[in-house]
Structure 1
Amino acid sequence: MEWLKKLAALLVLIGALNWGLIGLFKLNVVTEVFGSGSTVTQVLYSLIGLSGLWLLISKFKS
């Protein structure tokens, strides 16, 4: 399960950096790489959101 926690943390980090770039430079790296509204983009955003939720829940459980 440790690898899952590391993967979730990596995805949350990617999401945080992407939001930082959006806020500072209006640059969305995820949509630049995978395209706006593409299936890959939607899956990646969903995984990032679920990872954040999972880390939040696991933090309060421990």
Structure 2
Amino acid sequence: MRRNLSGMHWLDIIVAALLIIGGINWGLVGFFEFNLVAAIFGEGTAMSRVIYALVGLSALYEIFEYTVGFRSMQHRWCDLEAPATSVRH
């Protein structure tokens, strides 16, 4: 099944990328005690705080989309125009 990504909003792509980066970073912290963001940008620097803030805002955006904006998100991610499949009895 092929998904139609032409209607996906650019913000959704950025948010997804930031959440993946944040998830990988937290996985590294949890499993290996290694903070990739701090290693790249420095511990407690303005840039690392900006990255953390953007990841947090991305999570809030997704919470909003999953609760209030769920219908619109479904239309962006799913191909709702696909023909219905026959049901076997």
Task: Give the structure-2-normalised TM-score.
Answer: 0.67
Query: What corresponds to 1:43 in structure 2?
Result: 50
In structure 2, runs of 5+ residues without a counterpart are: 1-7, 71-89
RMSD over aligned CA atoms reads 1.0
2:12: which partner in 1?
A: 5
Q: Which has the larger radius of gyration?
A: 2
- What is the aligned partner in structure 2 of residue 33 from structure 1? 40
Paired positions, count: 62
Query: Mind listing any 5+ residue stretches in structure 1 that lack a counterpart?
Result: none
Residues 12-31 of structure 1 correspond to what in structure 2 (within 5 A)?
A: 12-31=19-38
CA shift, 1:58, in A, is 0.8
Identity percentage over the alignment?
Answer: 40
